Structure 1
Amino acid sequence: MSLKKLLKEKGYHQIKLKYTKTNHLELVAKINDIEGSFILDTGASSTCVGIDAITHFELLSEDSDIKAAGAGATNMLTQISQKNRIEIKGWKKKKVDLVLFDLRHVNEALENHKADKVHGIIGADILKRGKAVIDYKNKALYLK
């Protein structure tokens, strides 16, 4: 039996992924019913949205004590947006908290490699909630 069939029988949703030119896995997700493009990052503890996408997703934000660190950048100030809805290809969760911070360094790196900019990062918080299985060979994410 294939992994896809096994996971579908267990109630998982299949989400197609694509590789960016930087070899990151990218997917489309909706936050509060508004579509955006996201990098899948198993090493990111939280799902994040770029500060420049706050209005795109109509997010309410408040200052946060959390300091973000990521590829090439540390100690970045963050905000938080609480109780959002996220939907990824039919898989839905409510009451999702998002970390908001400046993703310019991420998007500049993508643009330098002629890859498209992203609105944010899907992190381990969502992957854990969805009991994620990543099929790298077939470029698919499964969430339950």
Structure 2
Amino acid sequence: MENLYDTLQKKGYTRIKFKLSKTQHLLIKGKINGIEGQFILDTGASNSCVGFEGITHFELSASDSDTKAAGAGGIGMLTQTSVNNKLKLGRWGSKNFGLVIFDMSHVNEALRQYKAKPVHGIIGADILMKGKAIIDYYNHCVYLK
């Protein structure tokens, strides 16, 4: 029987390694607009997002949004959006990538309390669906097509 990597590679998938944090979050490195960042891979997040500091870090063009964010940190959080960005995870990429921008300080404060490193953002279901993601928890990698 073929292994998962060989099977998915033949079907056009790219393997991207992730690490498990002290908090059991899946951490993945990526680039937005060619600039590196550290992200949580989150199947429960509907949209990929970055914190407000990501506007400068990733050279984003941000616009105000009427949409309020909700998540583990609370509800009704003010947001901005950024469109037409480039995302690169390993060798997999997406052009015209949209992001939600909101205050992620509560996420990073929780990580710091567990002596884990802060993250720039979250890779959510929007990207996982677009890339037809298959997550291999045992081998610590995600496959995107």
Please give the alpha-carbon distance, in whole angstroms, between the structure 2 residues aligned to 1:67 and 1:45: 13
Give the superposed CA RMSD.
0.6
State the partner residue of 2:81: 80
What is the alpha-carbon distance in structure 1 between the residues aligned to residue 140 and residue 5 of structure 2?
A: 11
State how far apart, in whole Å, the 1-side matches of 2:15 and 2:73 are.
32
Which residue of 2 is the match for residue 128 of structure 1?
Answer: 129
How far apart, CA to CA, are the structure 2 residues paired with 1:81 and 1:49?
Answer: 10
Give the Cα–Cα distance (whole angstroms) in 1 for the partners of residues 126 and 73 of structure 2.
22
Stretches of structure 2 that go unaligned for 5 or more consecutive residues are: none
Equivalent residue, structure 2, for 1:109:
110
SS in 2 for 1:111: helix
What does residue 64 of structure 2 align with?
A: 63
Give 1:72 deviation, angstroms.
Answer: 3.2
C-alpha distance in 2 between matches for 1:108 and 1:53 = 16
Q: Provide structure 1 residue ranges, at least 5 long, that are not aligned to the other structure.
A: none
Q: What does residue 35 of structure 1 align with?
A: 36
* TM-score for the superposition, normalised by structure 1: 0.98
- Misfit runs of 4+, over 2 Å: none
Q: State the partner residue of 1:96.
A: 97
Q: Equivalents in 2 of 1:38, 1:87: separation in Å?
A: 12
Percent identity (aligned): 58
Q: Deviations over 1:102-129 (max 9, x none)?
A: 0000000000000000000000000001
- 1:66 counterpart SS class: coil
Shift of 1:77: 0.4
Superposed displacement of residue 34, structure 1: 0.4
Partners of 1:71 and 1:112 in 2: CA distance: 15
Distance in 1 between residues matched to 2:35 and 2:42, nearest whole Å: 21
SS at 2:78's partner residue?
strand
Q: In structure 2, give the amino acid aligned to 1:57.
A: F
Q: State TM-score, norm by structure 2.
A: 0.98
Whole-Å separation in 2 of the counterparts to 1:106 and 1:39: 10
Alignment partner of 2:99: what SS?
strand
